[in-house]
Amino acid sequence: MLITSSASKFFKRKHTINVNGQLIDLSNPVVMGILNVSPDSFFDGGKYVIEDAILQRAEQMLEEGVSIIDIGAVSSRPGADAISTKEELTRLLPAVTAIRKRFPQAPISIDTFRSWVALRVIDECGGCIINDISGGDFDEHMFDTVGKLGMPYILMHMKGTPQTMQDDPQYDDIIKDISKYFSEKVRKLTKAGVKDVILDPGFGFGKTLGNNYDLLNRLDSFKVFQLPVMVGMSRKSMIHKLLEVDAEQSLGGTITANTMALLGGADILRVHDVKDAVESVKIFTMLKETANL
């Protein structure tokens, strides 16, 4: 059996997150759609840099069943160039403003590691999830800022920086090492007053090909934290390099990897291809429901 009827009895995980008074139900997995407004993101860079394209993409994702739209203005691909806070805000603020105006009920996540950017966007556009690839390591004020804002926070694990993270990453035991990292960070976030924390083990961020699949194979280890887990593997090199294709041809591999992640306990799938991920979630949810009949 892929899912047993007793599987959910061992851990009482948190099943909702509060985004500015709007509750997102995670009792069944949900899909977060990626909307990159940067010109150099690894898969869709440059596609969504004008307002019409941004709004059309947001509308398409909502029609396909997305639960959260994740908007990012800084590429975090390996070796990506850093940009200034001013440039990030110049890209990010208009995109969030336009989507919030056109689709006011759509939950939004902002992909930023800068507390000032989070503060400015939320002050001008309203509540958003804060998705920080650095786990607070790039900005010492991030945790306190999130606590004061009262917003959910996605805590991701990464070794190094986007410029250095793939320079021979080493682990004693990847699950133990990341679990230790999460334990320390969650304690600091709780002390800062952050109420909703989502864990992201950071596939592709300072991990070798083997590390990524070891992590996927043991994803259920993070259930011990009793916090939602987000997985972002969409069209990454861990898929297309293994399959010896390019990112454009890696949708099938992404669907397979995401399905494995759902079986391993993922609560949020962060993807480029919303419709396909929503279908995977529907099949997984039906499978889970039959296990409880």
Let me know how many helices (H) and strands (E) the chain has, helices first. 9, 10
Q: Considering 57, 207, 270, 288, which one is annotated as catalytic? A: 270
Is 218 an active-site residue? no
Residue 13 Cα to chain centre, angstroms: 18
With both helix axes pointing from N to C terminus, report the angle between 142-149 and 174-191 in degrees, rounded to the nearest 10.
60
Three-state SS at 55? helix
Is 236 an active-site residue? yes
Three-state SS at 59? helix
Angle, vertex CA 19, rays to CA 16 and CA 20, nearest 5: 135
Residue type, 164: T
Provide the terminal-to-terminal Cα distance of the chain, rounded to the nearest Å. Answer: 14
Q: Considering 218, 236, 241, 282, which one is annotated as catalytic? A: 236
CB of 78 within 8 A of CB of 166? Answer: yes
For residue 269, the cross-strand partners are: 31, 231
Residues labelled as active-site residues: 236, 270
